[in-house]
Structure 1
């Protein structure tokens, strides 16, 4: 697998602030993530051996979260051209799609936006997901509900080195993509029970 992107999660992001996130993906296998037998409750050992997909013998991606002082790898990636990822704070804009009061008894406005609102469709960390096909959730094998970390917009391209082959089923010449170019929402375990306890929800 090759490293597509990584970043330090800003300290002011709830639950995961201070973590380092890395997203890996196979350069030759390109597909959406739909796991056989995976339900909202992920089975024991899921992060060590994710179940096979409909079209692959196993997971072709890996998302890692860590807080230690791991040093950078000595060699640059051979597939993707390096690009700097700059983060800046921005205001979230949330749309409520149905009229009326979405607040239930005892619910504050922030949680109502998270439960019922649609956020901006852009590359972002934190904020409110821009669910295209409706909110999705999973329960980690450890018992905690996975929490939204970040999202990658549909058809986000990553420039490849000129001597690397074109990616199969890609959406743009000269670039590699993640998960067939689907909008991707990264959910992770708030208990940090496993360094790979993160799930990419794909929607289009």
Structure 2
């Protein structure tokens, strides 16, 4: 019997329903992180003629795959935070991701548009939810949790630095800098 099953067997029906709901939230946000990674891989491919920019998008995609993997790790081991996320929030994140997919799938997407699309997701509620869902690791997996926080800060610093370097729209670069300050 795996750990999540063992934990569910000790719960009553009401707690089991809540555990299943929370597990489904993890699964949903895993999908969001994986789809965002795919968007960033598409930007890598779109800007392949600009190696520094293409490399940045590939690295950013890898960060999102790491987020996906961490959420899956938590869910599969039954390390589920008591963070309740309402259905409307999930819908908003999903709608935002669909908007981002639409932007990045344009073969003529500009650098500014690419960073704008990234800013939409990176400044959304999904980032706060990711932090809440992974906070459960702080108790029993402190080293991993500290590494996640450091990686999260580095991820946002890289976004701010790349926006500064590649965007002609200074407002986008400033928005990423402000986001980095908020998350630090």
Q: Please, what TM-score do these two structures have when normalized by structure 1?
A: 0.27
Q: Please, what TM-score do these two structures have when normalized by structure 2?
A: 0.29
- The structure that is helix-richer by fraction is 2
